[in-house]
Amino acid sequence: MTPKYDVLGIGNAIVDVLTNVDDNFLNSEKLIKGSMQLVSEQEAHAIYNKLGQCIECSGGSAGNTIAGLASMGINTAYIGKVHDDQLGNVFRHDINALGAKFKTAPATSGPATAHCLVLVTPDAERTMCTYLGACVNLTVNDIDEETVRASKITYLEGYLWDPETAKAAFRKAIKIAHNAGNKVSLTLSDPFCVDRHRSEFLNLVRNDVDILFANEDEIKMLYGTDDLNEAVMQAQKDCDVTAITCGAKGCIVTDKNEIGHVQGRTVKNLVDTTGAGDLFAAGFLYGISKGKSLGECGAIGNLVAGEVITHMGARPDIDLKKFVKENS
Amino acid sequence: MTPKYDVLGIGNAIVDVLTNVDDNFLNSEKLIKGSMQLVSEQEAHAIYNKLGQCIECSGGSAGNTIAGLASMGINTAYIGKVHDDQLGNVFRHDINALGAKFKTAPATSGPATAHCLVLVTPDAERTMCTYLGACVNLTVNDIDEETVRASKITYLEGYLWDPETAKAAFRKAIKIAHNAGNKVSLTLSDPFCVDRHRSEFLNLVRNDVDILFANEDEIKMLYGTDDLNEAVMQAQKDCDVTAITCGAKGCIVTDKNEIGHVQGRTVKNLVDTTGAGDLFAAGFLYGISKGKSLGECGAIGNLVAGEVITHMGARPDIDLKKFVKENS
């Protein structure tokens, strides 16, 4: 069959609750700046009650990447679990509105739709507290075989390794994708997430992942080294394509033949780094889908990541198709 | 008793759902740019399904004004009806988070928390479609006598005239406020809202309102004239204090002794005019609460309105206390 989708994203379907905090708040709550921490419903509630006014915005790592790709005109689909509630409807609306196919049945019992408290400090860094809610109910039954077979690339977020049953769903998707001759892509998501699941992630990367995304901390954590070059070389050996984001410095990209560095773009008006990695992946996969060179893929990733950090929230707030056309 | 609150706001408790649209969309949906239109749940749903990605943010006209006042350090309270649901919790959290007292019991049956589809066109103008939801269940029982008596100014939004039972609640609040020797303030909200309730609004303004807020279209609609000066002079006769916003041109302010014009401030980076009138009222009432001159009140209103239109959403996203201190 001819693949119908360029990219299928599978991830934790989350609505972000964003607000500004100062560094003292992170310290008093014992939160590690820049990280994602899992919290219980009670813990989320206790932190929320200490926050100022917030805005709500659809999020979820793979959800953000798919939203970015859809905004660039790429054919996309998404699998993730919301509850049949108001925030679940918000998530569903927003990803559908951009043109992604999202048909996963919502949970009608159990916990509410997941939310993530995104705490943005004056340096624009984001620190996240995630209540997984309905995401814990994503199971193998939600992995629609037809959709996975119909997708040239299945893109998975490492965060999906946190809710227990999602792992099996994750593995099922990988198997279907590879059996259909399609590619599998993984983002390592967060250094603490890598730390929680390091040996399993290493197995995945060595055996199942064709296109790997990580940032510097995550790739070093994965390979248990402080030496970025060492980690990059190992990743090059393990995956066909690797893209390592290095913040403002840009990214390192590898395939089997080369290792390259793509200079970052200067971003004026840095507001909120939430979604920078997710949108980098969107830009990079856009390039892959369009048959661009490795360097071009990295450059588009840098460009698109540079847009999302100029405003609050992890979803693009402009037409990315037009933006990419005008800026690359 | 010594009033405990400087300003009590009573209004429709609404969560805004904001997105960008082009002018063609307004035309195809037969929406009048810059207006607020009431829609049924089904109509709201049909329009929402045609919108791109949105952000959710607490709103409601009086809610925005109270949020602005609370952000400026003014003692505030709020009365309005949400449902006991996720968006109701969002509304409650956000107004409480700024320090306003909001104790109105949520509805546990009947329609969901109200939402307003806020459609922002490239000229930064906002056009609104409001589904009143739980707001229709605000009744006289929700008007807590102690809170009204304890508030120096009771601020009411004209929009509250739309849900039927809220009118009685509105009248009860006016009676309690005046019996306690406190002031009553009204915003006319929207020219079409004025048109719907013109004779009743005229009676209110002539008999019950001490401080009146309106924009040019609303005040002309109220007095059935195309002549702004004529409308301003009538308003001066009817109310102790009047503030008429004139967009970028600033505002006209009156008391029994004078009519003045306060020049608008140049706003760079105009993004979304949602909440401009609400935050003008916040700035003006801040001035009143601090015993400032009429001209100073108008200038602070202009200043604060000028902040809220530089970003999406009708709530301030900075510390307004600091902002006012630094800029006035």
CB distance A134 to A13 below 8 Å:
yes
Tell me the shortest Cα–Cα distance from A54 to chain B, in angstroms: 7
SS3 B119: strand
Token representation of residue B240: 């102790």
- Å between A144 CA and nearest CA of chain B: 24
From CA B194, how far away is CA A274, in angstroms rounded?
42
Query: What is the reported pLDDT for B269?
Result: 87
Minimum CA–CA partner of B122 in chain A: A318
- Check if A269 contacts B (Cβ < 8 Å): no
Q: Inspect the interface and report whether the beta carbons of A55 and B313 lie closer than 8 Å.
A: yes
Rounded Cα gap, residues B204 and B217, in angstroms:
18
Q: Is the CB of A56 less than 8 angstroms away from the CB of B317?
A: no
Nearest to A98 among B49, B52, B313 (CB): B52
pLDDT of residue A33 exceeding 90:
yes
Measured distance CA(A236)–CA(B14) in Å, rounded: 52
> Which residues have C-beta within 8 Å of that of residue A42, sequence separation ≥ 6?
none
Task: Give DSSP secondary structure letters for B152-197.
Answer: EEEEEEGGGGSSHHHHHHHHHHHHHHHHTT-EEEEE---HHHHHHT
Q: Does A98 touch chain B (CB under 8 A)?
A: yes
List CB contacts of B72: < 8 A, sequence separation 6 or more. Answer: B282, B283, B286, B304, B320, B321, B324
Residue B83's closest chain A neighbor by CA? A86
What average pLDDT does range A60-70 have in this prediction? 98
For residue B92, give the amino acid letter: R
What is the b/e burial string over B14-30, where b = at least 16 CB atoms within 10 angstroms of the residue's CB?
A: bbbbbbbbeeebbeebe
Mutation for testing the B interface, residue in A56, A69, A87, A274 having most B CBs under 10 Å: A56
Cα B269 from Cα B306, distance rounded (Å): 10
Mean local confidence (pLDDT), A237-245: 98
Contact check, Cβ <8 Å, B98/A315: no
CB of B296 closer than 8 Å to CB of B325? no
With 0-12 / 13-18 / 19 or more C-beta atoms within 10 angstroms meaning exposed / middle / buried, residue A254 is: buried
Residues above pLDDT 90, as percent of chain B:
96
Predicted pLDDT of residue B2: 65
Looking at the predicted structure, is the pLDDT value of residue B237 above 60?
Answer: yes
pTM (two decimals): 0.95
Q: Is the pLDDT of residue B1 over 70?
A: no
Instruction: Tell me how far apart the terminal alpha carbons of chain A are, to the nearest angstrom.
Output: 33
Fold of B5-12+61-109+134-327: UDP-N-acetylmuramoyl-L-alanine:D-glutamate ligase (3.40.1190)
Instruction: State which fold the A5-327 domain adopts.
Output: UDP-N-acetylmuramoyl-L-alanine:D-glutamate ligase (3.40.1190)
- A contacts of B51 (beta carbons < 8 Å): 93, 97
Contacts of A94 in chain B (CB under 8 A): 53-54
CA distances from A17 to A6, A26, A47, A232, B51 (A): 30, 16, 11, 34, 21
Per CB-CB distance under 8 Å, the chain B contacts of A83 are none
Pairwise CB contact (< 8 Å): B112 & A85: no
Give the nearest partner residue to B53 out of A48, A97, A312, using CB atoms: A97
Contact A119, A26 (CB under 8 A): yes
- The number of C-beta contacts closer than 8 angstroms across A and B is 60
Where residue A164 falls among pLDDT bands split at 50, 70, 90? confident
Q: Tell me which residue in B20, B56, B93 faces A90 most closely, judged by beta carbons.
A: B56
CB-CB under 8 Å, A54 with B86:
no
Which chain A residues have a beta carbon less than 8 Å from that of B112?
A: 86
Closest Cα in chain A, distance from residue B173 (Å): 27
* pLDDT tens, position by position, B34-45: 999 999 999 999
Across A153-167, B221-235, B311-325, the highest mean pLDDT is recorded for B221-235
* A326 contacts A74 by C-beta, under 8 angstroms: no
On chain B, the residues whose CB falls within 8 A of the CB of A20 are 317
Average pLDDT over chain A, rounded to an integer: 96
- Residues 8-37 on A with a CB inside 8 Å of B are 20
CB neighbour burial string for B209-229, b if at least 16 within 10 angstroms, e if fewer: bbbbbbbbbbbbbbbeeeebe
Structure tokens at B267: 């706003």
Q: Provide ipTM, 2 decimals.
A: 0.94
* A98 vs B20, B53, B93: nearest CB: B53
Question: What average pLDDT does the structure give for chain B?
Answer: 96
Average pLDDT score over residue span A5-13: 98
Higher-pLDDT residue of A104, A318: A104
pLDDT at A1 over 70: no
Helix (H) or strand (E) holding B8: strand B5-10
pLDDT tens digit sequence for B203-213 = 999 999 999 99
Tokens of B219: 């005040």
Dihedral in degrees, nearest 10, Cα atoms A28, A31, A34, A40: -140
Q: How far apart are CA B165 and CA B138, in angstroms?
A: 6
Look-up of token digits 């204090």: B241
Say which residues have a Cβ less than 8 Å from residue A270's Cβ, sequence separation at least 6: A124, A309, A310
The Cα–Cα gap between A284 and A302 comes to: 8
Sorted by where each begins, the domain ranges of chain B are 5-12+61-109+134-327
Indicate yes or no: CB of B51 within 8 angstroms of CB of A98: no
3-state secondary structure chain A: CCCCEEEEEECCCEEEEEEECCHHHHHHCCCCCCCEEECCHHHHHHHHCCCCCCEEEECCHHHHHHHHHHHCCCCEEEECCCECCHHHHHHHHHHHHCCCEECCCCECCCCCCEEEEEEECCCCCEEEEEECHHHHHCCHHHCCHHHHHCEEEEEEEHHHHCCHHHHHHHHHHHHHHHHCCCEEEEECCCHHHHHHCHHHHHHHHHHCCCEEEEEHHHHHHHCCCCCHHHHHHHHHHHCCEEEEECHHHEEEEECCCCEEEEECCCCCCCCCCCCHHHHHHHHHHHHHHCCCCHHHHHHHHHHHHHHHCCCCCCCCCCCHHHHHHHHC
- Residue A171: φ, ψ to 5°: -65, -35
Interchain pair B55, A53: CB under 8 A = no
Task: State pLDDT tens for residues B246-275.
Answer: 999 999 999 999 999 999 999 988 999 999
By C-alpha distance, the chain B residue nearest A58 is B55
State percent of chain A over pLDDT 70: 99
Residue with tokens 């791109």, as numbered in its chain: B52
Using the predicted structure, report yes or no on whether residue B279 has a pLDDT greater than 70.
yes
> Could you report the per-residue pLDDT of B132-154, keeping only the tens digit for each?
999 999 999 999 999 999 999 99
CB-based contact (8 Å) between B271 and chain A? Answer: no
Check residues B3 and A156 and name the one with the higher pLDDT.
Answer: A156
- List pLDDT tens digits, range A253-309: 999 999 999 999 999 889 999 999 999 999 999 999 999 999 999 999 999 999 999
Chain A residue numbers touching B315 (CB-CB < 8 A): 53
Q: Do A53 and B52 touch (CB under 8 A)?
A: no
Enumerate the residues of chain A whose CB falls inside 8 A of the CB of residue B57. Answer: 55-56
Q: What is the pLDDT of residues B51-105, one digit of tens each?
A: 999 999 999 999 999 999 999 999 999 999 999 999 999 999 999 999 999 999 9
Residues 6+ apart with CB under 8 A from A4: A75, A150, A151
Q: Which residues of B touch A58 (CB under 8 A)?
A: 53
Helix (H, G, I), strand (E, B) or coil at B249: helix
Write down the pLDDT at residue A26: 98
pLDDT computed for residue B328 by the predictor: 82
Q: Is the pLDDT of residue A242 over 90?
A: yes
